[in-house]
Amino acid sequence: MDLDALLLTVEEGVLDEAYSALQRSQVTHYELAGEALTRQRLAELFHLVVGAIGTRQLGDLSQHVEQIAVERFNHGFDISEVQVAFNALEEAMWRRVVAASPPDELAEAIGLLSTVLGFGKDVLTRTYVSLASKQHVASLDLSELFGGAAS
């Protein structure tokens, strides 16, 4: 199965579903960015994921996600806001892949999609944590979970 080609045929539906899910989540920064910019951002991420699947190369996705993490962090986005966007796109892509993949090719398709999306989420999280370790960020302040820890 040519998973990247399949995903390109369902691109519009994936992006519509991902945008709708993001809207329902009422993520403040994406609401403020507006529909056009948010859809553009989802489309960029979609194309990088599809490209990584097609080429089996993660470099472009890695660079883009690192850039997203730095930009969103510097603009005050909580990491959960960016994760919601990633998850919305992931869910929409998964739904189409599962529906369109022949049973004997589903494991490989899911493996490819999961690998690329998992890698992207890992880059996002590592970058956010690295940035947060350099300055205090309330969303990542775990000190209250442990007694005797100095803030």
CB 54, CB 63: distance < 8 Å: no
Helical spans, DSSP H, in 25-102? 28-33, 35-55, 59-74, 79-100
Task: Please give the helix or strand (H or E) that residue 149 lies within, else none.
Answer: none
pTM above 0.85, yes or no: no
**What whole-number distance in Å separates Cα of residue 99 and Cα of residue 37?**
29
- Kindly indicate the confidence band of residue 31, based on its pLDDT and cuts at 50, 70 and 90: confident
- Kindly indicate the confidence band of residue 30, based on its pLDDT and cuts at 50, 70 and 90: confident
Q: What angle do CA 100, 89, 82 make, to 5 degrees?
A: 165
* Phi/psi at 136 (5° precision): -70, 125
Q: What angle do CA 80, 84, 87 make, to 5 degrees?
A: 130
Range of lowest pLDDT (22-26, 84-88, 141-145)? 141-145
- CATH code: domain 3-132 is 1.10.490.10
- Kindly indicate the confidence band of residue 25, based on its pLDDT and cuts at 50, 70 and 90: confident
Query: Which two structure tokens, joined as six digits, stand for 111?
Result: 């493996």
Is 3 a residue whose pLDDT tops 90?
yes
Q: Which of 53, 26, 30 is nearest to 41 (CA)?
A: 30
